[in-house]
Amino acid sequence: MVPKGKLLAIGGKESKEKEQPDEQDRNINFISEQILKRFVAELKGNNPMIAIIPTASNLPDVSAKDYTTIFNKLGVNNIKIVDIRNRVDAKKPEYMEAIKEAAGIMFTGGDQLKLTAIYGGTDILNAMKERYAFSDIIIAGTSAGAAAMSTPMIYEGESEGGSIKGDVRITTGMEFLKNVAIDTHFLTRGRIVRMTQAIATNPECIGIGLEEDTAILVTEGGFVEVVGSGLVTVVDGTGITDTNIYAIQTGEPFTVKGLRVHLLGDKDKYFIPSYARLQMR
């Protein structure tokens, strides 16, 4: 089916000043207004409500306050904080109610593994997926919040490497986008090789690398529009002709041939390929 909702995956933006740990991923002063204004513009309804989810952050209170402040400045005052910090919190009815009422959901940055470990298999994540599938909601995430939207999800690796088999660790993400791997801070942290390793292990997947201050707006489950000042890197492995990733030992460098790479800028469009698949239950 074609989802009625929209996704906004943001590559994050680092402060260039001295910061506290985790501040680089939660700091929104360096996300351009262009991206967050677009998020607000996509909200539907009168007095639309934004649900802010700071679960990934090590400073959830501060992160939630930051986003509340900036959304207030952008004219949105109907905001609820979905302050889920563990799997027990995920069962609280007030948080489920916020998800059912929200016109937009915002996942902050931090650690994407916290998102999958806390939300995986929960009713509240299923409710988000249902809202995405059947309503005009927009679901956004920055940095870790963006990386967790996809499946497979890269959660750890050598940021400046990734050329060694086993350097990149992958798990199941929140599955708003299937057969897509999203990575953030992409060019700044030199992550193209680690993305390539992820795609070499499953060439059916498309890799999308988001540079800082750059986002993709996904509509109808696969139509992509770039928003922001940087580049989006698309790594397409469907045409791979050869790779040694399955033949080498862990700790050895991998090779791959036949990759296609696209570089997209602001307002550029791209369609994520989809294939007819047998659905197994």
pLDDT at 66: 93
pLDDT at 20: 45
Cα distances (angstroms) measured from residue 48 to each of 43, 101, 106: 6, 9, 13
pLDDT at 278: 46
pLDDT at 1: 84
Phi-psi domain of 45 (left: phi exceeds 0; alpha: psi -120 through 50; beta: other): left
Query: What is the distance between the alpha carbons of residues 64 and 160, in angstroms, rounded to a whole number?
Result: 30
pTM of the model: 0.91
pLDDT at 275: 56
Point out the residues that are catalytic.
143, 185, 212
Tokens 């791997």 correspond to what residue? 181
In the chain, what are the domains?
6-160+170-179+215-228+265-271 (3.40.50.880)
Query: What is the distance between the alpha carbons of residues 104 and 153, in angstroms, rounded to a whole number?
Result: 22
Query: What is the distance between the alpha carbons of residues 144 and 9, in angstroms, rounded to a whole number?
Result: 10
Q: What is the pLDDT along the chain (281 residues), one digit of tens a residue?
A: 899 999 999 998 733 233 444 444 445 555 567 899 999 999 999 999 999 999 999 999 999 999 999 999 999 999 999 999 999 999 999 999 999 999 999 999 999 999 999 999 999 999 999 999 999 999 999 999 999 999 999 998 764 567 899 889 999 999 999 999 999 988 878 889 999 999 999 999 999 999 999 999 999 999 999 999 999 999 999 999 999 999 999 999 999 999 999 999 999 999 998 754 545 45
Across-strand partners of 236?
A: 206, 260
